[in-house]
Each structure stands twice: as C-alpha cells, then as structure tokens.
Structure 1
Amino acid sequence: MTPEEIQPLFTRSDGSFLCARWGRPVAPIVFGVEEKTLTVVKGALEAVAALSGHPLTETDPELGANLMLFFFRDWSELLDVPSLGQMIEGLEALVARLDAGGANQYRVFRFDADGAIRACFTFLRMDDALAAHPAETLALSQAVQAFLLWSDTAFAERSPLARTAEGAVILRPEIAGVLRAAYDPVLPAVARDPVHALRLAARLSDQEKRM
C-alpha cells in the first residue's frame, strides 16, 4: 500500500490523524456467548495477536481484563452490568444515544499517559444484521478492530476481511500488512502526524522484500 492509501485508515472523520497500538499485553474477556462461540472469539484474538507480534495474557495487573467484548440483544442490558458505569463515563447517555441511533456495535478505547492503548470495550448488539454473519467472520473483524486504533471511517465502505477461493475468511492482505507494520518495535506506539503513513508504507515494503 502507498502512504496515500494508508493515511485514510487513521484519519478520523474530524480530519485528525491518530494511529495507536496497545502498550501492554492484551488480557481479553468475553461476555454473552456460548462456549462454542467463545472458542471462536479467542481463536480470532490469538490469530491477530500472532500476526501483530503483540502478546495476549491471562490478567492485566492493573485492570484484570483490559479487552472486554460484550455480546447482547438490547443496549439497555449494559446498564445492568456491574461496575461498567464506573469504567465508562457517561454510560447511560451513551446507551441512550446508541439505542436511539439504531447502532449495532461500538468501541470505547482508553489510553496510557503516552497515548498507547490501555483498554478497549467492544459492544455488539446482535441484531439481524450482525447475527447473519458467521461467528468466525464477526470474531475476526472485531479482533482486528480492537488491536489497533483505526479511523472511525476506515471500514465504513469495505470490510477488513476477505474470503479465499476455498471459502475461508481471512484479513485482507493489505490490512494484515498494516497491522503488522504498526506493531514494528522501531515505530512509536502512538502517532498523530500523517507522516506516520510514510513510515508504515516503508515497513510494508520491507515485509514484501522479505517474503
């Protein structure tokens, strides 16, 4: 991908550029799914962690779990989750806004002092549109969107996923490459200057040469 193609992936709808990765191991927990689906979600997280080279862990020493994925049928269910209102400021207003807008998914990120991702809350209201997706597709899509702070419009018109000729669901190769490049230890954990797209493109070029 060229810098011109990478830059929009991290340019938000207000015009600002922001690319941030996790600054600590990811300790996930999943609510509201059966054991079979839980295995699928964990598998997707493990796959994205392996791709990025960023570790998963059982427990975050500060937060316990720092990546929380909630699957539910109605936004109001979030108001009954113990302590969630303490972790997400203005939860009632957020729930009312998402419910009124008919949203079926939302992510809230928290950041360390240096701007690296510290925590992520992923909310999925399983309406007919989301329920129509196979669990593998939904899990992989959410995993890649939780591992990096993409633009709020990055995947509005095109999914980060693709399907192989054999029917398997995978990350689009260019998205996988950007994710891997963003976790290059040479690069900063957070960047607010669009010139960062040039650095990512250079890492992508290096990846291609090594393949």
Structure 2
Amino acid sequence: MLKVGVLGPVGSGKTSLIIKLTEYLSKRGLKIGIITNDVVSNFDALTMYKTLVEEKSIIPKENILGIVTGGCPHTAIREDPSVNLRALEILEKREDFDVIFIESGGDNVMSTFSPLLADYTIFVLDTSAGDKYPGKGGLGIVESDLLVINKIDLAPYVNADLEKMKKDSLRIRNGKPFVMISLKSGEGLKDLFNIIEEELKYEGIIKS
C-alpha cells in the first residue's frame, strides 16, 4: 500500500486532484481510500463523497474519512499526526487498499507530512496565486516528491508567466519531478498519471 500525502494552499486544487487520481486509479483496478483534513468542517470529505460515491459510484462511502483538526493545519500531519494515524488504522481494517490519499488542510509553502504518515507527497500550487510561488521555495515545494502547478488555463487572466514558473521549478527542485496542469480542461493530466503510475510500479502495486 502507498500512502500519498496531498498538501498545498487553500483553493489550489487538492480535492479536485485526489478526485481525478481516484477516478483514474480505480479504472486500473486499484482500491482507493481517502482521508481529508480540514480545520473547521468536513467540506472536502463531503465534496469527494458527492462526486465519487453519489454521482459516479467509483468507491464506497466507507472508503472516505473526514477529520476536523480544529487547529493549525500542519500540526495534524506533521508535529502530531496521531489523529490521522488512527484514521489510517480504521481504513486499513475496512479494506486491503492499494493507495490511501491523505489530504492536508490548506496551508502554506512550509507544510510537510510526517514520514510516519505519508510515503509519497504531492504539493499543489495554482497559477492564480502568482507566478512567484515556485521560486519562493519552502519545504513543501522543494522537498515534495511531486510538485503540481494547477490552473494553467488561468495564467493569461492573472498575468502569470508559465515559463518563469517552469524555470523556477526546474531550478529549485533540483531534478525532482513537477507537472503543469489544468484539472478543469484536462491539459497535462496524462503526464501526471504517468508519474503516479511509475511510482506505483516502483512500489510493486502496479505491474510493469
């Protein structure tokens, strides 16, 4: 089983990303579980439930757990991940999962997951927050296994320079992969799926 931590600022597209990956990997025959973290509500969990369970019947409702942290978002995934570790135990008793996604509450570029909680991390940014973000660095941007720059379709409307974001990502990540995508239009999703598939092949979850 691969535990995938997904983090990034509020509104960057974490929930939509997990939905897209769950749809894709489920079609490959993988069993997917999801844990969402939010500070004050179960909004993200309910969004996933509505899409993946009610509308598309992709996974059963028991495969989604929502956690309300009630405090600093990164505390529950890094300093004290005990509530998430308990959620993992609950899910693992329900099903023999291939992948469990753990969505962090929205946070800043310094967020990271505890290695006790996530085996692989995805940091999500979006162009509407400005083209400066990849170059700013921060633990999440620099150390994540995969950087996802979302909403590239909005770049012309917010004067975001995609070439600058690309060059900064190449420089600051020192060879680690990144993808530039639009979850709305589908642009770049093939590259995203290929990277995730390669990781799952490496872990022996998907056969080559």
Q: Same fold (TM over 0.5)?
A: no
Larger radius of gyration between Structure 1 and Structure 2: 1
Higher relative contact order (CA 8 A, sep 6+): 1
Structure 2 length normalisation: TM-score? 0.32
